[in-house]
């Protein structure tokens, strides 16, 4: 039939099974390692740890020297580092340790002062505080406390000394910086004063606001004046077109028309001109009367011109006709003169407003630059004032710090003499190392021995080696004969569980084996050979229980003990072995007389007399004929044969029957024996139906399963004894 194989799975479960199998070895090595570690720890000298605490607060002396922010930047960089870590390094520095050694006069075995490197001082910051925890371990408790206290005192003294020296250096530095800061302050003040004086600045902010308002007012006034000027010019041009008097003489004409002397001469001139016109109509131009009137006309015209010049204050030529104005025209001329004067006034006003607007506009354009320059000067002045003020303040603080005897560190807890020893790191390392090394060596030894051990350890491993189907899995069990008071088969051994405990887990396992035999057979299997690789795997016990469980189904079963080298079936069933298979084969007795009935459906044929060469009898024609003869009377014939190791009885007999069952006991048979048995079966061409795993420790299997459903899967010797006792009382 087809062989089934399983892949080799190496997982954590397999590793755990190895440890379960080899736990005594692993435990022994582990306990040995722990014991050696404990012995080494017991040889260690007792050490005592003294502890003290120091409070550290950051020194502000360096920050007092900051000028213009430069030194403040340096101080901020310094604060980025952990100040407690820095002080821890100082506490462990060679000068501090050397001072402790000299003060306490610590000497080695040769009488010399000890090396500072030999003092292993432990300094750790206390989380969330500004406190340093100082500790020292020694085999002398008083010395440990003295070293810690002296170390803290030396550190505090050194801290005070350093603070005073830093304050002195800071004072000298600040005193050197004061003249420069004072000069910078004076120079900046003078630059700001000159700037305001040069640019006529009182308050730039108010000036800017007023300038904006003024420019707005000037824009409004300029627009109004320009509108009025345009209106006056339009009226004036209209009057000029009506009066037709030159604009440059209109004012003179209007004023002369109002002067009496000018009007009298003008009146006389008009009269003479009237007479002259009359005389010219009567006489010719040479007539004395005409000549006389023309001379009078010239004289009056000259007089009129003279009086006009005297009236207007300038030598002007005015036509006499223009002085003859009517009432309306005189009003128009007067209005024209008024409009002219108004036009000139408005023009002057527009020009004045335009000039003012340009002046304020130029000032407004300059103001932003002035504000920027003034702001720069004011900021420089503010920085100079602040720097000078800070220097003065810090100078006072530094002088106070220079004269005080208090540092930035102080002792908050002195070390006391310890009473109880402490575990050193070496002790912890030895303890942890003993446990770890023991654990690792134990595990390694367990796996090493498991690798060296060539026995088949699990059912799955047996399947992989043989390559046959697993038909049954019989759990490991033990029996207590004293607990069995009633049995279903009289005389049967307690190992025949089917006969002694018919409702047990083992019984169910054999029932599953019988069912699997029916499932895998394509034709009815009536004759079976049960064998194993080596002796001790329980093939006889399996044969007996399998025969009994098949018989319980109503089938007629004959169990034949074919192991004529070491027969055991008569012991299992409590029958006599006077005659048996060997006697029937050689014809000494009739077969029917040799068969012994055990139950209604189960009969046993013992091995009989042990022959000198069992293989000859088993491989004979008589044996073959005997099998065919018995097959007519029984439904099943089961042969318990010799192991395959060292002889070929089972292989030879396997050729004569319907199938072979191989019993495998994990932990007993080794790989070499199993492979040899498999090879012999292959050469004999026997029909191997499958393997039966017997005496299986279910808890040691990688797949904790059975081929049946039961609430009593876990089987132990104690449980089985309890079952035996319970069943015997029922």
pLDDT of residue 312: 60
Residue 601 has pLDDT above 50, yes or no: yes
What pLDDT is stored for residue 6 in this prediction? 43
pLDDT of residue 17: 65
DSSP letters of 179-243?
Answer: HHHHHHHHHHHHHHHHHHHHTT-S-HHHHHHHHHHHHHHHHHHHHHHHHHHHHHHHHHHHHHHHH
Q: Per mean pLDDT, which of 232-241, 591-600, 632-641, 663-672 is the most reliable?
A: 632-641
CATH fold label, 454-729: Rossmann fold (3.40.50)
Residue 247 or residue 561, greater confidence: 561
Please report which confidence band the pLDDT of residue 323 belongs to, taking 50, 70 and 90 as the band edges: low
Query: HSE (CB half, 13 Å, CA atoms) of 103?
Result: 17
User: What is the pLDDT at residue 265?
Assistant: 72
pLDDT at position 460: 83
Q: Is the pLDDT of residue 303 over 60?
A: yes
Looking at residue 458, its pLDDT comes to 79
Once rounded to an integer, what is the mean pLDDT over residues 690-715? 62
Domain ranges of the chain: 258-324, 454-729
* pLDDT in the model for residue 74: 40
Q: How far apart are CA 237 and CA 217, in angstroms?
A: 30
Question: Would you state the structure tokens that stand for residue 274, as one six-digit string?
Answer: 């009237």
User: Using 50, 70 and 90 to split pLDDT, how confident is the model at 562?
Assistant: very high
**What local confidence, expressed as pLDDT, does residue 159 receive?**
80
Euclidean distance between CA atoms 521 and 103, whole angstroms? 99
557-561 β-sheet, strand order: 470-475, 688-696, 659-664, 527-532, 636-640, 557-561, 602-605, 596-597
Average of pLDDT values for 326-335? 59
Highest-pLDDT range among 51-60, 244-253, 353-362, 494-503: 353-362
For residue 483, the model assigns a pLDDT of 41
Q: Taking residues 217-223, what's their average pLDDT?
A: 85
Query: What is the structure's pLDDT at 81?
Result: 52
Of the given ranges (155-169, 651-665, 710-724), which has the lowest mean pLDDT? 710-724
Q: Report pLDDT for 542.
A: 93
710, pLDDT greater than 60: no
User: Which residue, chain included where needed, has tokens 């047990």?
Assistant: 504
- Nearest Cα to Cα of residue 638 among 516, 554, 549: 549
Q: What is the pLDDT of residue 643?
A: 93
pLDDT at 714 > cutoff 50: no
Q: What is the pLDDT of residue 653?
A: 92
C-alpha 595/C-alpha 621 separation (Å) is 20
**Lowest-confidence region among 239-248, 359-368, 382-391, 536-545:** 239-248
Specify the pTM: 0.48
Contacts by 433-440 with C-beta closer than 8 Å and gap 24+? Answer: 433/37, 434/33, 434/34, 434/36, 434/37, 434/38, 434/40, 435/30, 435/33, 435/34, 435/37, 437/33, 437/37, 438/29, 438/30, 438/31, 438/32, 438/33, 438/34, 438/37, 439/30, 439/33
Mean pLDDT for 43-48 is: 74
Residue with the larger pLDDT of the pair 657 and 76: 657
Q: Pick the more confident residue, 66 or 51.
A: 51
Determine the average pLDDT of the residues in 375-383.
Answer: 85
What pLDDT score was predicted for residue 55?
87
In whole angstroms, what is the distance from residue 111 CA to residue 243 CA?
140
pLDDT value, residue 90: 85
Q: How far is CA 604 from CA 307, 561, 579, 682, in A?
A: 189, 8, 12, 29
Tens digit of pLDDT for each residue in 260-270?
A: 666 677 777 77
Q: What pLDDT sits at residue 464?
A: 86
- Burial environment of residue 49 by CB neighbours within 10 A (0 to 12, 13 to 18, 19 or more): buried
Least confident of 46-55, 397-406, 545-554, 608-617: 397-406
The winner for highest mean pLDDT among 231-240, 512-521, 525-534, 589-598 is 525-534
pLDDT value at position 523? 61
Q: What is the pLDDT of residue 205?
A: 75
CA–CA separation, 677 vs 683, rounded Å? 10
**pLDDT digit string, tens, across residues 84-141:** 888 888 888 888 888 888 888 888 878 888 888 888 888 888 888 888 888 888 878 8
| pLDDT higher than 50, residue 83 | yes
Average pLDDT over residues 442-464: 75
Q: Could you read off the pLDDT of 160-203 as tens digits, one per residue?
A: 887 777 777 887 888 888 888 888 888 888 888 888 788 777 77
> Which of 390, 394, 402, 396 has the alpha carbon at shortest distance from 64?
394
Would you say 407 and 54 are in contact if contact means Cβ atoms under 8 Å apart?
no
Proportion of the chain above pLDDT 90, given as a percent: 10
pLDDT of residue 713 exceeding 50? no
Please give the pLDDT value at position 637: 94
């Amino acid at each position: 039939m087809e062989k089934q194989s399983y892949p080799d799975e190496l997982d954590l479960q397999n590793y755990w099974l190895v440890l379960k199998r080899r736990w005594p070895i692993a435990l022994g090595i582990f306990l040995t390692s722990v014991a050696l570690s404990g012995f080494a720890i017991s040889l260690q000298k007792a050490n005592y740890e003294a502890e003290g605490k120091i409070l550290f607060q950051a020194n502000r002396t360096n920050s007092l020297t900051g000028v213009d922010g430069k030194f403040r930047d340096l101080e901020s960089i310094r604060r980025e580092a952990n100040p407690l870590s820095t002080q821890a390094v100082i506490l462990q520095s060679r000068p501090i340790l050397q001072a402790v050694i000299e003060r306490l006069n610590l000497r080695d075995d040769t009488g010399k002062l000890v090396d500072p490197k030999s003092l292993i001082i432990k300094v750790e910051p206390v989380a969330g505080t500004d406190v340093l925890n100082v500790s020292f371990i020694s085999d002398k408790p008083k010395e440990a406390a003295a070293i810690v206290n002296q170390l803290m005192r030396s550190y505090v003294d050194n801290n005070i000394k350093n603070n005073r020296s830093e304050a002195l250096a800071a004072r000298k530095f600040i005193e050197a910086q004061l003249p420069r800061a004072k000069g910078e302050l004076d120079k900046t003040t003078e630059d700001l004063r000159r700037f305001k004086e040069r640019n006529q600045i009182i308050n730039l902010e108010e000036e800017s606001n007023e300038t904006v308002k003024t420019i707005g007012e000037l824009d409004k006034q300029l627009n109004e004046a320009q509108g009025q000027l345009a209106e006056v010019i339009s009226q004036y041009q209209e009057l000029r077109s009506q009066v037709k008097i030159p604009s440059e003489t209109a004012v003179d004409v209007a004023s002369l028309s109002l002067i009496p002397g000018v009007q009298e001469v003008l009146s006389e001139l008009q009269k003479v001109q009237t007479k002259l016109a009359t005389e010219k109509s009567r006489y010719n131009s040479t007539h004395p009367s005409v000549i006389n009137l023309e001379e009078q006309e010239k004289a009056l015209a000259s007089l009129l011109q003279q009086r006009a010049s005297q009236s207007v204050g300038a030598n002007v030529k005015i036509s006499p006709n223009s002085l003859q104005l009517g009432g309306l025209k005189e009003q128009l001329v007067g209005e024209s003169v008024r409009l002219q004067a108004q036009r000139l006034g408005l023009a002057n006003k527009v020009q004045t407003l335009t000039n003012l607007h340009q002046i304020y506009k130029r000032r407004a354009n300059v103001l932003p630059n002035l504000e920027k320059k003034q702001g720069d000067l004011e900021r420089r002045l503010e920085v100079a004032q602040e720097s000078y003020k800070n220097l003065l303040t810090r100078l006072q603080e530094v002088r106070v710090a220079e004269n005080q005897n208090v540092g930035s560190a102080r002792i908050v807890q002195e070390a006391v003499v310890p009473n109880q020893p402490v575990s050193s790191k070496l002790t912890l390392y030895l303890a942890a190392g003993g446990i770890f090394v023991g654990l690792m060596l134990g595990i390694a030894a367990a796996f090493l021995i498991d690798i060296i051990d060539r026995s088949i350890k699990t059912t799955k491993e047996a399947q992989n080696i043989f390559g046959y189907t697993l038909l049954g899995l019989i759990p490991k069990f033990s029996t207590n004969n004293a607990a069995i008071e009633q049995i279903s088969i009289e005389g049967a051994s307690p190992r025949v569980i089917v006969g002694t405990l018919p409702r047990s887990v083992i019984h169910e396992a054999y029932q599953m084996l019988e069912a699997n035999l029916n499932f895998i057979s394509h034709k009815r299997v009536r004759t079976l050979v049960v064998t194993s690789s080596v002796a001790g795997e329980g093939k006889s016990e399996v044969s007996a229980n399998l025969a009994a469980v098949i018989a319980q189904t109503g089938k007629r079963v004959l169990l034949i003990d074919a192991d004529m080298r070491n027969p055991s079936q008569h012991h299992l069933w409590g029958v006599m072995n006077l005659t048996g298979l060997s006697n029937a084969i050689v014809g000494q007795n009739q077969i029917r007389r040799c068969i012994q009935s055990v139950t209604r459906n189960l009969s046993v044929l013992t091995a009989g007399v042990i022959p000198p060469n069992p293989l000859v009898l088993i491989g004979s024609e008589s044996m073959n004929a005997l099998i065919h003869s018995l097959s007519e009377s029984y439904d099943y014939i089961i042969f318990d044969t010799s192991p395959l190791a060292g002889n070929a009885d089972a292989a030879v007999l396997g050729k004569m029957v319907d199938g072979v069952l191989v019993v495998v006991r994990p932990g007993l048979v080794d790989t070499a024996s199993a492979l040899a048995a498999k090879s012999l079966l292959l050469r004999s061409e026997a029909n191997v139906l499958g393997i039966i795993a017997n005496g299986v420790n279910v808890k040691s299997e990688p797949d904790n399963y059975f081929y049946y459903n039961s609430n009593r899967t876990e089987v132990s010797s104690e449980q089985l004894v309890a079952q035996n006792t319970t069943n015997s009382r029922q």
